[in-house]
Amino acid sequence: DFIDDLNADSLDIVDLIITLESEYDISIPDEDAQRLKTVGDAVDFIVENAE
């Protein structure tokens, strides 16, 4: 998962979510953000929600 793979803490994860939202012009609700545990999860979410 992000925390282990990237040696990230919870603030790093929040920063990552904000960066993904900005970079891909999407909104990631908190409940969805909590489910994004791996890079694959993030990619799947972006592909499904990008315009």
Contacts of 5 (CB under 8 A, 6+ apart): 38, 39
| pLDDT single digits (tens) 28-44 | 999 999 999 898 999 99
Residue 41 bears catalytic tag: no
Q: What is the domain range of residue 29?
A: 2-49
Predicted local distance difference test score (pLDDT) of residue 5? 83
Q: What is the CATH number of the domain that holds 15?
A: 1.10.1200.10
Residues 17, 34 contacting (CB under 8 angstroms): no
Note the pTM of the prediction, 2 decimals.
Answer: 0.83
Predicted local distance difference test score (pLDDT) of residue 41? 95
Which of these is catalytic: 5, 9, 12, 44?
Answer: 9
Which among 8, 25, 22, 30 is positioned nearest to 38, based on CA atoms? 8
- Please state the domain count of the chain: 1
Q: What DSSP character marks residue 50?
A: -
| pLDDT single digits (tens) 1-27 | 888 888 888 899 999 999 999 999 999
Residues 51, 25 contacting (CB under 8 angstroms): yes
